[in-house]
Chains A and B, each alone.
Chain A
Amino acid sequence: MSTATAPRPTIDSKFVLPFMNATRDVFLKMAGVTTTIGKPHLKSDTNAGYAVCGIIGFSGQITGSVVVSFSDTAAEKLVEAFAGVKLALTDPDFADAVGELANMIAGSAKKHLGAVASISTPSVVIGKGYVVANNRQIPCLVIPCSSPFGDFAVEVSVKRSPAL
Protein backbone atom coordinates (compact mmCIF):
# COMPACT_ATOMS: atom_id res chain seq x y z
CA MET A 1 0.00 0.00 0.00
CA SER A 2 1.35 3.42 -0.86
CA THR A 3 0.52 6.81 0.62
CA ALA A 4 0.33 9.86 -1.61
CA THR A 5 2.25 12.84 -0.31
CA ALA A 6 1.72 16.40 -1.42
CA PRO A 7 4.59 17.78 -3.49
CA ARG A 8 6.94 19.97 -1.49
CA PRO A 9 6.29 23.61 -2.38
CA THR A 10 9.04 25.36 -4.24
CA ILE A 11 9.64 28.95 -5.22
CA ASP A 12 11.07 30.07 -8.53
CA SER A 13 14.66 31.14 -7.80
CA LYS A 14 14.27 33.96 -10.35
CA PHE A 15 11.98 35.66 -7.85
CA VAL A 16 14.61 35.85 -5.12
CA LEU A 17 17.36 38.05 -6.51
CA PRO A 18 15.12 40.98 -7.52
CA PHE A 19 13.85 41.25 -3.95
CA MET A 20 17.36 41.03 -2.50
CA ASN A 21 18.64 43.77 -4.81
CA ALA A 22 15.56 45.92 -4.27
CA THR A 23 15.94 45.70 -0.49
CA ARG A 24 19.60 46.75 -0.59
CA ASP A 25 18.83 49.55 -3.06
CA VAL A 26 15.86 51.02 -1.19
CA PHE A 27 17.61 51.24 2.19
CA LEU A 28 20.85 52.56 0.70
CA LYS A 29 19.27 55.23 -1.51
CA MET A 30 16.39 56.33 0.69
CA ALA A 31 17.86 55.90 4.18
CA GLY A 32 21.62 55.81 3.63
CA VAL A 33 21.70 52.42 5.37
CA THR A 34 23.78 49.49 4.18
CA THR A 35 22.03 46.16 4.60
CA THR A 36 23.48 42.66 4.57
CA ILE A 37 21.36 39.92 3.07
CA GLY A 38 21.45 36.47 4.68
CA LYS A 39 20.67 33.07 3.21
CA PRO A 40 17.02 32.78 2.19
CA HIS A 41 14.97 29.87 3.56
CA LEU A 42 11.45 28.55 3.17
CA LYS A 43 9.11 29.68 5.91
CA SER A 44 7.71 26.75 7.85
CA ASP A 45 5.04 28.44 9.96
CA THR A 46 2.57 31.31 9.67
CA ASN A 47 3.90 33.39 12.56
CA ALA A 48 5.25 36.77 11.69
CA GLY A 49 8.93 37.14 12.39
CA TYR A 50 8.86 40.67 13.76
CA ALA A 51 6.45 43.11 15.38
CA VAL A 52 6.17 45.69 12.58
CA CYS A 53 5.38 44.78 9.01
CA GLY A 54 4.44 46.32 5.69
CA ILE A 55 2.47 44.13 3.28
CA ILE A 56 2.12 44.57 -0.48
CA GLY A 57 -0.02 42.40 -2.74
CA PHE A 58 0.81 41.46 -6.33
CA SER A 59 -1.75 40.84 -9.07
CA GLY A 60 -1.56 40.20 -12.79
CA GLN A 61 1.03 37.82 -14.22
CA ILE A 62 2.57 37.64 -10.75
CA THR A 63 0.31 36.96 -7.76
CA GLY A 64 0.99 36.79 -4.07
CA SER A 65 2.49 39.14 -1.53
CA VAL A 66 5.66 40.50 -0.05
CA VAL A 67 5.95 41.27 3.66
CA VAL A 68 8.73 43.43 5.04
CA SER A 69 8.94 42.91 8.80
CA PHE A 70 11.07 44.56 11.46
CA SER A 71 11.61 44.38 15.19
CA ASP A 72 10.09 47.50 16.76
CA THR A 73 13.53 48.94 17.63
CA ALA A 74 14.93 48.30 14.13
CA ALA A 75 11.78 49.79 12.61
CA GLU A 76 12.03 52.94 14.72
CA LYS A 77 15.66 53.53 13.72
CA LEU A 78 15.22 52.64 10.05
CA VAL A 79 12.13 54.81 9.77
CA GLU A 80 14.03 57.68 11.38
CA ALA A 81 16.84 57.25 8.83
CA PHE A 82 14.29 57.15 6.00
CA ALA A 83 11.91 59.91 7.09
CA GLY A 84 14.58 62.15 8.58
CA VAL A 85 12.60 62.54 11.79
CA LYS A 86 12.08 60.36 14.86
CA LEU A 87 8.56 58.93 14.90
CA ALA A 88 6.80 56.94 17.63
CA LEU A 89 5.26 53.58 16.70
CA THR A 90 1.84 55.10 17.36
CA ASP A 91 2.35 58.06 15.00
CA PRO A 92 0.34 57.62 11.76
CA ASP A 93 3.40 58.79 9.85
CA PHE A 94 5.31 55.80 11.25
CA ALA A 95 2.95 53.36 9.51
CA ASP A 96 3.06 55.54 6.40
CA ALA A 97 6.87 55.30 6.31
CA VAL A 98 6.88 51.51 6.83
CA GLY A 99 4.31 51.15 4.05
CA GLU A 100 6.32 53.30 1.68
CA LEU A 101 9.49 51.26 2.33
CA ALA A 102 7.55 48.06 1.54
CA ASN A 103 6.03 49.72 -1.53
CA MET A 104 9.44 50.67 -2.90
CA ILE A 105 10.90 47.20 -2.31
CA ALA A 106 7.96 45.53 -4.06
CA GLY A 107 7.88 48.07 -6.88
CA SER A 108 11.59 47.99 -7.44
CA ALA A 109 11.65 44.16 -7.52
CA LYS A 110 8.65 44.07 -9.88
CA LYS A 111 10.66 45.62 -12.69
CA HIS A 112 13.04 42.65 -12.68
CA LEU A 113 10.44 39.90 -12.38
CA GLY A 114 9.84 39.92 -16.11
CA ALA A 115 6.06 40.06 -15.92
CA VAL A 116 3.25 42.54 -16.12
CA ALA A 117 1.93 42.94 -12.60
CA SER A 118 0.32 45.53 -10.38
CA ILE A 119 1.10 46.12 -6.75
CA SER A 120 -1.41 47.12 -4.10
CA THR A 121 -1.18 50.11 -1.84
CA PRO A 122 0.57 48.98 1.36
CA SER A 123 -1.01 47.64 4.53
CA VAL A 124 0.91 48.00 7.78
CA VAL A 125 0.58 45.89 10.93
CA ILE A 126 2.14 46.97 14.23
CA GLY A 127 1.97 44.55 17.15
CA LYS A 128 3.14 41.13 18.21
CA GLY A 129 1.54 37.77 17.59
CA TYR A 130 -0.23 38.39 14.29
CA VAL A 131 -0.45 35.76 11.57
CA VAL A 132 0.06 36.51 7.89
CA ALA A 133 -2.26 34.13 6.07
CA ASN A 134 -0.52 33.53 2.80
CA ASN A 135 -2.02 31.47 0.00
CA ARG A 136 -1.14 27.84 0.83
CA GLN A 137 -0.44 27.13 -2.81
CA ILE A 138 2.36 29.68 -2.82
CA PRO A 139 5.44 28.93 -0.71
CA CYS A 140 6.90 31.74 1.37
CA LEU A 141 10.60 32.47 1.20
CA VAL A 142 12.19 34.43 4.02
CA ILE A 143 15.11 36.68 3.12
CA PRO A 144 16.84 37.58 6.40
CA CYS A 145 18.45 41.03 6.42
CA SER A 146 20.65 42.83 8.88
CA SER A 147 21.53 46.49 9.23
CA PRO A 148 23.43 48.63 11.73
CA PHE A 149 20.01 49.47 13.19
CA GLY A 150 18.88 45.88 13.68
CA ASP A 151 17.58 42.87 11.81
CA PHE A 152 14.56 42.63 9.57
CA ALA A 153 13.17 40.20 7.00
CA VAL A 154 11.59 40.27 3.58
CA GLU A 155 9.07 37.45 3.10
CA VAL A 156 8.34 36.72 -0.53
CA SER A 157 5.31 34.62 -1.41
CA VAL A 158 4.68 35.05 -5.11
CA LYS A 159 4.10 32.87 -8.13
CA ARG A 160 3.73 33.35 -11.85
CA SER A 161 0.10 33.13 -12.91
CA PRO A 162 -1.05 31.25 -15.99
CA ALA A 163 -1.11 33.46 -19.11
CA LEU A 164 -3.91 35.99 -18.84
Chain B
Amino acid sequence: MNYLLVDDSRTMRNIQKKVLSAVAGATFAEAGDGLEALSVIAATPGGFDLMIIDWNMPNMDGIALVKKVRETDKKTLMIMATTEAEKSRVLEAIRAGVNNYVVKPFTPESLMDKVSQTISKAKAAA
Protein backbone atom coordinates (compact mmCIF):
# COMPACT_ATOMS: atom_id res chain seq x y z
CA MET B 1 0.00 0.00 0.00
CA ASN B 2 1.45 3.30 -1.13
CA TYR B 3 0.40 6.19 1.15
CA LEU B 4 0.63 9.95 0.78
CA LEU B 5 0.39 11.65 4.18
CA VAL B 6 -0.56 15.33 3.99
CA ASP B 7 -0.40 17.27 7.25
CA ASP B 8 1.38 20.46 8.28
CA SER B 9 2.49 18.73 11.47
CA ARG B 10 5.49 16.47 10.95
CA THR B 11 4.76 14.90 14.32
CA MET B 12 1.30 13.91 13.11
CA ARG B 13 2.70 12.45 9.89
CA ASN B 14 5.22 10.44 11.92
CA ILE B 15 2.46 9.11 14.18
CA GLN B 16 0.39 8.07 11.16
CA LYS B 17 3.43 6.43 9.58
CA LYS B 18 4.16 4.49 12.76
CA VAL B 19 0.57 3.22 12.97
CA LEU B 20 0.29 2.28 9.29
CA SER B 21 3.73 0.63 9.21
CA ALA B 22 2.24 -2.18 11.29
CA VAL B 23 0.98 -3.63 8.00
CA ALA B 24 3.79 -5.10 5.90
CA GLY B 25 4.47 -3.48 2.55
CA ALA B 26 3.42 0.04 3.45
CA THR B 27 5.40 2.82 1.75
CA PHE B 28 5.06 6.51 2.43
CA ALA B 29 5.43 9.90 0.83
CA GLU B 30 4.72 13.09 2.75
CA ALA B 31 3.62 16.67 2.17
CA GLY B 32 3.19 19.61 4.54
CA ASP B 33 0.29 21.28 2.70
CA GLY B 34 -2.00 20.90 -0.29
CA LEU B 35 0.31 22.59 -2.77
CA GLU B 36 3.24 20.39 -1.79
CA ALA B 37 0.95 17.37 -2.06
CA LEU B 38 0.06 18.30 -5.66
CA SER B 39 3.78 18.49 -6.48
CA VAL B 40 4.42 15.11 -4.89
CA ILE B 41 1.49 13.59 -6.81
CA ALA B 42 2.76 15.08 -10.08
CA ALA B 43 6.21 13.64 -9.42
CA THR B 44 4.87 10.16 -8.66
CA PRO B 45 3.84 8.54 -11.95
CA GLY B 46 2.33 5.46 -10.31
CA GLY B 47 0.24 7.60 -8.00
CA PHE B 48 -0.85 6.59 -4.52
CA ASP B 49 -3.26 4.00 -3.19
CA LEU B 50 -4.44 6.09 -0.28
CA MET B 51 -4.01 9.67 0.90
CA ILE B 52 -4.54 10.82 4.48
CA ILE B 53 -5.23 14.55 4.45
CA ASP B 54 -5.45 17.17 7.20
CA TRP B 55 -8.03 19.95 6.74
CA ASN B 56 -6.36 23.04 8.22
CA MET B 57 -3.02 23.64 6.52
CA PRO B 58 -1.24 26.73 5.18
CA ASN B 59 -1.03 27.55 1.43
CA MET B 60 -3.68 25.07 0.31
CA ASP B 61 -5.98 23.40 2.81
CA GLY B 62 -7.16 19.81 2.73
CA ILE B 63 -10.61 20.38 1.28
CA ALA B 64 -9.16 22.36 -1.65
CA LEU B 65 -6.67 19.55 -2.22
CA VAL B 66 -9.42 16.91 -2.25
CA LYS B 67 -11.44 18.92 -4.80
CA LYS B 68 -8.38 19.48 -6.99
CA VAL B 69 -7.39 15.81 -6.97
CA ARG B 70 -10.94 14.65 -7.68
CA GLU B 71 -11.10 16.81 -10.83
CA THR B 72 -8.96 14.21 -12.56
CA ASP B 73 -8.64 11.25 -10.21
CA LYS B 74 -11.71 9.39 -8.98
CA LYS B 75 -9.75 6.33 -7.94
CA THR B 76 -7.21 7.21 -5.26
CA LEU B 77 -8.65 6.60 -1.81
CA MET B 78 -8.73 9.67 0.42
CA ILE B 79 -9.28 9.94 4.16
CA MET B 80 -9.64 13.31 5.85
CA ALA B 81 -7.91 13.28 9.27
CA THR B 82 -8.74 16.49 11.07
CA THR B 83 -9.95 18.22 14.22
CA GLU B 84 -12.90 19.54 12.16
CA ALA B 85 -15.61 17.36 13.65
CA GLU B 86 -18.82 19.28 12.91
CA LYS B 87 -21.38 17.40 10.82
CA SER B 88 -21.38 20.17 8.21
CA ARG B 89 -17.64 19.73 7.72
CA VAL B 90 -17.90 15.95 7.42
CA LEU B 91 -20.64 16.34 4.80
CA GLU B 92 -18.60 18.94 2.92
CA ALA B 93 -15.63 16.57 2.79
CA ILE B 94 -17.76 13.66 1.61
CA ARG B 95 -19.32 15.83 -1.10
CA ALA B 96 -15.82 16.86 -2.17
CA GLY B 97 -14.90 13.22 -2.62
CA VAL B 98 -13.24 11.77 0.48
CA ASN B 99 -13.84 8.08 1.12
CA ASN B 100 -13.67 8.29 4.90
CA TYR B 101 -13.18 10.70 7.78
CA VAL B 102 -11.10 10.45 10.97
CA VAL B 103 -11.51 12.98 13.75
CA LYS B 104 -8.41 14.02 15.69
CA PRO B 105 -7.59 13.08 18.39
CA PHE B 106 -7.66 9.42 17.39
CA THR B 107 -6.26 6.27 18.91
CA PRO B 108 -3.87 4.16 16.79
CA GLU B 109 -6.59 1.50 16.62
CA SER B 110 -9.24 3.89 15.33
CA LEU B 111 -6.93 5.18 12.59
CA MET B 112 -6.05 1.64 11.54
CA ASP B 113 -9.74 0.67 11.57
CA LYS B 114 -10.70 3.59 9.31
CA VAL B 115 -7.93 2.75 6.86
CA SER B 116 -8.90 -0.94 6.81
CA GLN B 117 -12.59 -0.07 6.36
CA THR B 118 -11.79 2.26 3.49
CA ILE B 119 -9.65 -0.30 1.68
CA SER B 120 -12.17 -3.13 2.23
CA LYS B 121 -15.05 -1.00 0.96
CA ALA B 122 -13.11 -0.04 -2.16
CA LYS B 123 -12.20 -3.68 -2.85
CA ALA B 124 -15.83 -4.75 -2.42
CA ALA B 125 -17.00 -2.06 -4.84
CA ALA B 126 -14.38 -2.97 -7.48
Contacts and interface: CB of A to CB of B under 8 A. Distances in A.
A84 B15 contact: yes
B105 A121 contact: no
Interface in B13-39: 14-15, 18
Interface stretch (A43-51, A106-114, A149-157): A106-114
Contacts, number: 61
Contacts of B106: 29-30
Interface string B37-66: 000000000000000000011100000000
B84 A100 contact: no
Interface string A94-128: 00110110011011101100001011010000000
Contacts of A99: 9
Contacts of B57: 121
Interface residues of B, number: 22
A100 B12 contact: yes
B14 A104 contact: no
Interface of A: 25-26, 29-30, 82-85, 93, 96-97, 99-100, 103-104, 106-108, 110-111, 116, 118-119, 121
Interface of B: 8-12, 14-15, 18, 56-58, 82-86, 88, 103-107
27 contacts: A26-B105, A29-B106, A29-B107, A30-B15, A30-B104, A30-B105, A82-B11, A83-B11, A83-B14, A83-B15, A84-B15, A93-B10, A93-B11, A96-B11, A97-B9, A99-B9, A100-B11, A100-B12, A103-B9, A103-B83, A104-B104, A107-B85, A108-B83, A108-B103, A108-B104, A110-B86, A119-B83
